[in-house]
Amino acid sequence: MSTPSEPTRDRNVPSLSEVVGERRQLVNLAYRLLGSLSEAEDAVQETYARWYAMPPARQEAVESPGGWLTTVATRICLDLLGSARVRRERYVGAWIPEPLPDRTEWTGGPAGTGTPAPADPADRVTLDESVTMAFLVVLESMTPAERVAFVLHDVFGYPFAEVADILGRSAAACRQLASSARRRTRAARASALPAVGQATVVREFRQAWEAGDIAALVALLDPAATMVADGGGLAGAALRPVEGGERIAAYLVHFADRAPGLTLLERTVNGRPGLVAQHGGHTVTVAAFDLSGGRITRIWAIRNPEKLRPWTGSHPA
């Protein structure tokens, strides 16, 4: 017999906690597939909308709610990846995946209000090597099918039989897709320095940048280093990659000269040491780095304010 605090329901219909409990996994999956937290959240919201739109009888017929939600979310992401390619062709300048802070530094409350994020980490992304900026940039170079096959199998451990069902291809074809994607990611997976070593280089880079010391910056940069900036037409940024250590150093010093009062903070960017530039207490740039041989080989500078919502607000230095 039920009590007023325990409303009756069909025991075969998946419980609310069972369904909602998949949210974190879905957001993590969607972010890796899309490279955008806002798009990932939209995809997950649409997934749940489709679940709750089903009558209880259909929900009851689902053997694995988690599997159903994953399949639907992945297919939604697959559609978004196709349309994203068209949108990004019209994007002003380079498109860089949305950077994420460490959960202890997360300040993007609801709708990017700048209020602290809720204690429940369900809507945050687990930071590991599969979300480093170098890794996400490589994922961007893949076809949508390659990206889905690789992320589902290599990152989340789904067997190729399940990946095949989601993609509507054979298991053998999905295995080939993942293998092709895996070859592309090998360089991104190989980190010449552990996080502690990278943090030291990033700290020295910050100090040289603050001092306007071009020679010190050049010494920390690989001669063939590349810097890519993403302003999205909403913030000033180089529309083309800046190539060469000397050119990057000169560009950064010139940028700082044009923004007196710029504050540089050492922060975790997608699980790796990075820098955050603030002006007047507002985050204006988030920089992620890739290193090899103890020198910086790539810098990704995200300036599009729409991608900086989780970084809104100021932190203690």
Among candidate residues 229, 317, 232, the one with its CA nearest the CA of residue 276: 317
Between 246 and 117, the higher pLDDT residue: 246
Q: Are 125 and 27 in contact (CB under 8 A)?
A: yes
- CATH topology for 16-98+139-189 is Butyryl-CoA Dehydrogenase, subunit A; domain 3 (1.20.140)
CATH 1.20.140.160 location in the chain: 16-98+139-189
For residue 3, the model assigns a pLDDT of 41
Distance CA 279, CA 162 (A): 48
For 159-313, list the strands marked E by DSSP.
221-230, 242-243, 263-269, 272-279, 282-292, 295-302
pLDDT for 251-270, tens place per residue? 999 988 888 889 999 999 99
What is the pLDDT, as a whole number, of residue 157? 94
Start and end residues for every CATH 3.10.450.50 domain found in the chain: 195-311
CA 107 to chain centre: 16
Residue pair 147/161 in contact (Cβ under 8 Å)? The answer is: no
pLDDT of residue 186: 81
Reported confidence tier of residue 91, pLDDT bands at 50, 70, 90: confident
pLDDT at 4: 44
Q: Are strands 295-302 and 221-230 parallel, antiparallel or unpaired?
A: parallel
Helix axes 171-189, 160-167, angle to 10 degrees: 110
Three-class SS of residue 15? coil
Q: What's the pLDDT tens digit per position in 169-224? A: 999 999 999 999 999 888 666 555 677 789 999 999 999 999 999 999 999 999 99
Cβ atoms of 307 and 98 within 8 Å: the answer is: yes
Residue type (1 letter), 286: V
Q: Does the pLDDT value for residue 314 go beyond 50?
A: no
Band of pLDDT at residue 236, cut at 50, 70 and 90 = confident
Q: Are 227 and 251 in contact (CB under 8 A)?
A: yes
Q: Which residues of 243-254 are buried (b: 16+ CB within 10 A; e: fewer)?
A: ebbeebbebbbe
* pLDDT tens digits, 24-41: 999 999 999 999 999 999
CATH number of the structural domain 195-311: 3.10.450.50
Percent of the chain clearing pLDDT 90 (strictly above): 64
Query: In the chain, what percentage of residues exceed pLDDT 70?
Result: 85
List CB contacts of 224: < 8 A, sequence separation 6 or more. 243, 244, 245, 297
pLDDT score for 6: 39
The model scores a pTM over 0.75: yes
